[in-house]
Amino acid sequence: MITIKSSQKLFTEDEVSSLTGICLDHLRSLARSKHLGFLARAAEAAGAQAEKWLFTNSDLMVLSVLFTRCQH
């Protein structure tokens, strides 16, 4: 079980990855296949567009219950 601040409503993919132990590659494929989280487009300094996933705290709970940390 993971503990999060209840005041925090949104989590970046990096935060979710470190909280759940699920690597970014698996996290993104889980998000797509399970319809969890949503894509936010972050404008990089160089002007390139980077895809970033954002997750709500309920998405985070589902991920932490259904999926175990990566073992690779």
Please, are residues 54 and 37 in contact by the beta-carbon 8 Å criterion? yes
Query: Mask: binding to Zn ion, 25-54, rule CB under 5 A, as x and -?
Result: -x----------------------------
Length of the chain equals 72
Residue located via tokens 């925090």: 8
End-to-end CA distance of the chain: 21
Tell whether residue 67 is a contact of Zn ion (CB under 5 A).
no
Pick between residue 26 and residue 52 the one whose CB is nearest to Zn ion: 26
Q: Can you tell me which of 23, 24, 42, 66 binds Zn ion, judged by CB under 5 A?
A: 23
